[in-house]
Amino acid sequence: MSDLNNPLTKFYSGKFEKQRQEAPALQRKMTPVPDCGEESYTGSDKLSGRKVLITGGDSGIGRAAAIAYAREGADVAINYLPFEEEDALEVKQWIEKAGRKAVLVPGDLKEEAFARKLVHAAAEELGGLDILVLNAGMQQAVKDIKDLTTKQITDTFTTNIISMYWTVQEAMAYLPAGGSIITTTSIQSEEPSAHLLDYAATKGAITAFSKGLAAQLAPKGIRVNTVAPGPIWTALQICGGQPQEAIPEFGQKELLERAGQPAELAAVYVFLASDQASYVTGQVYAVTGGSFFA
């Protein structure tokens, strides 16, 4: 009997119930709860003994990477907002269940002092830092540019891209040759939506930042790549990331006719962090359900 899975039906392919939480949302309260590979990801020692820091590691794509990294043999520190402690504690349990060390460092990446301290706290608890996954992000849809507040523009840029400068600056004290930085950009970098003028611009910046950083760090033997997800069912989307009326059809227009699940990105984050990607740097890896990232 074939064990092939049809990508159209491998994960939830129905419409979503309208649902709304205040940002930041808890993924454990979503319907359906996003699939971060808790019951499915199988490791094979691709990251034995590696030390990893993942921002936004409590939920969604960062959580899927955290679980996969632990099952591949890595010790994992995660950063998230204090409000998200309940989601983060679940991730801690999954990391420990995989027999690895879990370090929780809650705090707001918009605060420069915290963003810098985070890297040292993680590296001290882990005993080093080999892999940095800069994945935290905020997204608030606003239909009319006249309604976009300076606070939202500034918060989105500080969270999504400016904090990357701070964390990478501090991480340079630890990352060894063979180390790796992975950022999370978006298909929005390539195909910006009308209602995401601030968010999409930060994603364009992240793509350019990641490519430029790859050029700067290549002589040190540190690879830098970025992952560009398409529509993925995560907490980001139900706390203002999408207009409420767009929730039921979320992801349905993709070639694969459904939203992706965080679990479907885990293998890409593992590959880019692993020695198997030794000749891969400065690249954008798209996981979009079909949209093409040029």
CA pseudo-torsion sign 118, 119, 121, 125? positive
Task: Give the interface segment with Mg ion, choosing from 132-140, 218-226, 230-238, 272-280 (CB under 5 A).
Answer: 230-238
- Shortest Å distance, C-beta 281 to ligand NAD: 20
Strands (E), the chain: 51-55, 75-80, 102-106, 131-134, 180-184, 223-229, 284-287
Binding mask 208-237 for ligand NAD (x = CB under 6 A): ---------------------x-xx-xxxx
Binding mask 233-262 for Mg ion (x = CB under 5 A): --x---------------------------
Strands (E), 180-289: 180-184, 223-229, 284-287
Examine residue 156 and tell whether it contacts ligand NAD (CB under 6 A): no
Binding mask 65-94 for ligand NAD (x = CB under 6 A): --------------xxx--x----------
Answer with the entry of Mg ion, ligand NAD, none that 274 interacts with (C-beta below 5 to 8 A by kind).
Answer: none
Catalytic status, residue 269? no
- Shortest Å distance, C-beta 138 to ligand NAD: 5
Which residue from 24, 179, 240, 289 is in contact with ligand NAD, where contact means CB under 6 A? 24
The count of C-alpha atoms lying within 13 angstroms of the C-alpha of 209, restricted to the half-sphere facing its C-beta, is 23
Could you identify the residue written with the tokens 């501090």?
170
- Shortest Å distance, C-beta 83 to Mg ion: 9
Q: Give 179 or 229: the residue with its C-beta nearer to ligand NAD.
A: 229
Joined together, the tokens standing for residue 254 give 């993709």
CA pseudo-torsion sign 289, 291, 288, 194? negative
CA pseudo-torsion sign 95, 126, 270, 265? positive
CA separation, residue 143 to residues 67, 204, 235, 240 (Å): 35, 19, 20, 11
Examine residue 159 and tell whether it contacts ligand NAD (CB under 6 A): yes
Q: What share of the chain is helix, strand, coil (3-state, %, to 5)?
A: 40, 15, 45
Which residue from 41, 54, 57, 59 is in contact with Mg ion, where contact means CB under 5 A? 59
Question: Nearest CA to 64 among 246, 275, 227, 292?
Answer: 227
Examine residue 84 and tell whether it contacts Mg ion (CB under 5 A): yes
Amino acid at 270: V
Of the residues 69, 80, 199, 269, only one is catalytic, namely 199
Answer with the entry of ligand NAD, Mg ion, none that 289 interacts with (C-beta below 5 to 8 A by kind).
Answer: none
Residues annotated catalytic, as ranges: 199
The binding site for ligand NAD (CB under 6 A) comprises 24, 27, 55-56, 58-62, 79-81, 84, 108-110, 135-139, 159, 184, 186, 229, 231-232, 234-237, 262
